[in-house]
Amino acid sequence: MFAYALLLLAVVSRVVPHPAWFSFTAVGGSLLYFGARRPWWQAIVPLAALAATDYYLTVYAYSYPFHVQNYLVTWAWYGAAMILGRVLLGRRANAGRVIGASIASSTSFFLVSNFMVWFGSAMYPRTAGGLGVCYLAGLPFYRNDLMATTLVAAFAFAAPVLVRRMREADPTPGQIAA
């Protein structure tokens, strides 16, 4: 159930208006957690929810036409982030693995998404310099995504452990600790 709550947080963090410099979403961390903790066949739920969010933002928030082909790489990355969560974290999550998976997730999204902007639009010249400028322009978003993914993933993997430890430390109902 917690994975679904994080998924809802990911959707809400994308659709709630926020200043461009803030750009803090729970997408990466929630996908890592979902992939690590839910059966593989449930992956359709976050893929559908985030694809619907992409559609909503494109058409209604930004008033652009929606073209499925513009989102195929992003949707593939959503799936890859869940696979990364399953492979790197699975039932073996620890602080180092969570940080490593967060870095891998954010970095892969930064590299792939900026490459696709450079390759598939006329915003930057199709030269090595144009690709470099495209990556430079994406650095503030990368920084924010890396922080958001790391914080959300750290919370997601640490919260259940902390709750379990607190329950173990509490006396059973009706008993008073001496």
- Domain assignments of the chain as residue spans, ordered by start: 2-15+26-158
Report which of 105, 90, 103 is spatially closest to residue 38, judged by C-alpha positions.
Answer: 90
* Cα separation, 81 vs 36, whole angstroms: 10
Dist CA 160 CA 164 (whole Å): 6
Q: Strand, helix or coil at 63?
A: coil
How do residues 79-134 score in pLDDT, each as one tens digit? 999 999 999 998 888 999 999 999 999 999 999 999 999 999 999 999 999 999 99
Q: What is the model's pLDDT at position 55?
A: 98
The helix, strand and coil proportions of the chain, stated in percent and rounded to the nearest 5, come to: 75, 0, 25
Residue-wise pLDDT tens digits, 164-176: 888 888 766 665 5
Options 1.10.1760, 3.30.310, 1.10.10, 3.40.50; CATH for 2-15+26-158 is: 1.10.1760
Distance (Å, whole) CA 160 – CA 112 = 32
